[in-house]
Amino acid sequence: MKTKQHTLKKSVTVSGVGLHTGVPANMTFVPAKPNHGIKFKRIDLEGEPIVNADVDNVVDLSRGTTIEESGARINTVEHTLAALVGMEIDNVLIEIDGPEPPIMDGSSIKFIEAIESVGLEEQNVMRNFFEIPESVFYKESDRQVEIAALPLNDYRVTVMVDYNSPVLGSQHASMNDISQFPKEIASSRTFCFLHELEMLRKNNLIKGGNFHNAIVVVDRVVSDGELDELAHLFNLPKVEVKEEGILNNVELRHNNEPARHKLLDLVGDLALAGRPIKGQILAARPGHAANVAFAKKIKRMMQKNSKSENIPEYDPKMPSVLDINQISQVLPHGYPFRLIDKIIQLDEHSVTGVKNVTINEQFFQGHFPGNPVMPGVLQIEAMAQTGGVLLLNTVDNPEQYWTYFVGIDGCRFKKMVVPGDSLIIRCELLAPIRRGIAKMKGQAYVAGKLACEANVSACLVKKDI
């Protein structure tokens, strides 16, 4: 799995009709800044309202997942969201001039191909994974639906379906790594049973459905008269049934294509929880209603843990955004005042740095001999240097500038910092940078506990070169 956030290198557009509304739409994937998330924008409506891809915005589950916010509705979002998850895209603005994404061929593959045509751009911010902390279960006994999420340092999904049909029988599909999605899952098309077609039409659905964007499973004997009616319904000269029970002689792309499509839907619906997931998902007979109910359960778990998740985490196995050599190129500090070892997160508004404290620090020679404690003033200096990296990230040619620590307010020390500690320092802008001066909220943690905090100010001064 990708460790840093990604967006698209440039915009790309797909066009077509919506499956259920039948309304033509142009949908453009637009690159977005770090931590933007996935948002839809109805550019055909007054004010161009934004609809966040959020499970709490789900308003309808009639054969698809529909979200609504600020009076704007987006129908059938699951195939689009599945493609973004499968490509590990974190930040994108989806501009659409209609109420529903194009159904394309009934799968996610056309979205994948469009995204691949422009490529991805890595961003200097770590992905905000939600690691399933403990087993989570969802069950609907009347429909024999079960979904579980188990702890795992990866994202794996297994789906089992059983429609009590002699045509489909029991099927299962698995995705053991997210990298399998584009090739193994994305091309699997949506499907329905022949006996559902009339009901769907009566309920004002599948207006854009045809045999090019959906698989129709025939699970009973069909008369020639019914086939003629279907041909008229879909404006076709002729409709046929294959021996295996697939309408209009459509060739399956996979023997278990329906199960793979159910996995695709599940991946798309779970994207509405709002963060990339690390866990193993097991689902029996999933559908949009169960998927969304489970996504809500996952989101509530995220919110419950949100207080602790505001604390920056440091995983030494993860790659740094800036290593010590890259830091040295922008910060002029040298021994004994080089107090940041690596930057692990950096965007336009915040930065997180690491200071590994060892007994070999020069200040331990005289500061509380026999009881080494890192001086508070140096903790604040490390915080200022971390904030300096954020400030220098806002200008071109940062090596041409000095950063100066010019103010401090509300400083508090909460915990002693001693040799062996890793000091994780986060600085976040309190206001936009004006005239080269930045005001930041700084917090430093050890093992998840707040060690010190302060509001610090720093300024940029161009070197006299």
Catalytic pick among 79, 288, 333, 349: 288
- Whether 288 is catalytic is yes
Of 278, 268, 271, 389, the C-alpha closest to 324 is 389
Catalytic pick among 172, 254, 333, 367: 367
| 3-state secondary structure at position 396 | coil
| 3-state secondary structure at position 290 | helix
What is the C-alpha R_g of the chain?
A: 27
The dihedral over CA atoms of 46, 50, 54, 60, expressed in degrees to the nearest 10, equals 10
CB 25 within 8 A of CB 102: yes
Task: Report d(CA 103, CA 63) in Å as an integer.
Answer: 13
DSSP state, residue 319: P
> Which residues face 50 on adjacent strands?
41
- Whether 367 is catalytic is yes
Task: Report d(CA 372, CA 225) in Å as an integer.
Answer: 90
CB 181 within 8 A of CB 317: no
Alpha-carbon separation of residue 117 from 32, 122, 223, 303 (angstroms)? 17, 16, 45, 36
Alpha-carbon separation of residue 94 from 51, 98, 189, 277, 347 (angstroms)? 10, 12, 22, 21, 22
What are the catalytic residues? 288, 367
